[in-house]
Amino acid sequence: MSATETLRPDSPAQILRVTGLQKHFPVRGGILGRQKARVQAVDGVSFAVEEGETLGIVGESGCGKSTTARLLVGLIDRDRGDVRFDGRTLGKDLTLRDLRRGMQMVFQDSYASLNPRLTIEESIAFGARIQGLSDPVGRARDLMDRVGLDPARFAQRYPHEVSGGQRQRINIARALAMSPKIVVLDEAVSALDKSVEAQVLNLLADLRAEFGLTYIFISHDLNVVRYISDRILVMYLGEVVELAPVDLIWSRQAHPYTRSLFSAMPSMDPDNRTEEPPLTGDPPNPINPPSGCRFHTRCKFAEAVCARDVPVMRDISGGQGHLAACHLHDTASGHSRAGEEGLT
Ligand code: SF4
């Protein structure tokens, strides 16, 4: 695990504090269905989010970002790790029910997230009604208005009668109906056309300000993450490898993996082209991840120490909150080569 030093110092401003989150999925086989191996989907992830902040989570497909989201909202059980939400710790003074009410999730597939037999108004009111919140229908109509869906036109329609962008607005309203403090958006705009995507991103920014929301925004699209996030967390093979305020990481990617991700990003700006070759090859098998730094099998800077020792997350910005887990930045051990390799 490399992520134990990812945490900011404890503070009352933190609405979410995750420590050592771990999820290994069993792989079963044979007639008796015995466990043969474990997929290390999330392995020791730690981070803290302050109230009103948007934390973007990026990484290749299979890096563990969506599993992390599902663990946070309690859709799947964690093997290990502490989740502290709004000053209370899950499993101690915080129940799963309270966590789910305070932390809502919006998924990529806007259609699969909705019950096709419920009208839009009923869909939005459903959760609030189950939770015993007052006036669920009035609440639903008000939220439809806030997300840009005229209740007079849309309340009695069904999910198949509206567009993808409108369905995602319904899902956002449905999440807000529970009066959450945090909304986890898992690739929530990825399936939308670019023009609709921009409208929904602007809507999310407006709603964040209006309701004082905190977002955890998961996406493979770095430009989208940059637009909406205050900080960016980069995951590779179940671990956190870099975490930084968006401006810092945009001007300087300290971890070679992050650098590769950024170099693969399309840019129309001729002054913003990188010479860095994009990432090649598939990620290693998460059932048996590489020793030491998990990225060493794909890293052009790898040395013997990388296969041997697990790099620890360190602040590389003199206290500005830019952290990376890479031996190139480990000045204490004598392995630091970040300056020579142009990663400073
Ligand atoms: Fe590359 Fe070594 Fe840094 Fe891992 S620790 S990213 S292998 S240089």
What's the pLDDT score for residue 333?
Answer: 63
Nearest residue to 110 via CA among 205, 182, 187, 204: 187
From 2, 242, 296, 312, the mutation candidate for ligand 1 (largest count of ligand atoms within 8 A of CB) is 296
What's the pLDDT score for residue 331?
Answer: 73
CA atoms within 13 A on the CB side of 310: 15
CB 268 within 8 A of CB 247: no
Is the pLDDT reported for residue 277 higher than 70?
no
Buried b (16+ CB within 10 A) or exposed e, 55-92: bbbbbbebbbbbbbbbbbbbeeebbebebbbbeeebee
Pocket of ligand 1, beta carbon within 6 A: 255-256, 293, 295-296, 299, 301-302, 306, 311, 326-328
Is the pLDDT reported for residue 316 higher than 70?
yes
Hey, what are 344's tokens? 């400073």
Q: 298 C-alpha vs ligand 1 centroid, how far in Å?
A: 9
Confidence of residue 275 (pLDDT cuts 50, 70, 90): low
Q: 9 C-alpha vs ligand 1 centroid, how far in Å?
A: 26
88-89 sheet: strands from edge to edge: 34-50, 14-29, 80-85, 88-89
What's the pLDDT score for residue 3?
Answer: 44
DSSP secondary structure of 17-47: EEEEEEEEEEEEETTTTEEEEEEEEEEEEEE
Q: Write the pLDDT tens digit of every residue in 42-86.
A: 999 999 999 999 999 999 999 999 999 999 999 999 999 999 999
pTM to 2 decimal places: 0.91
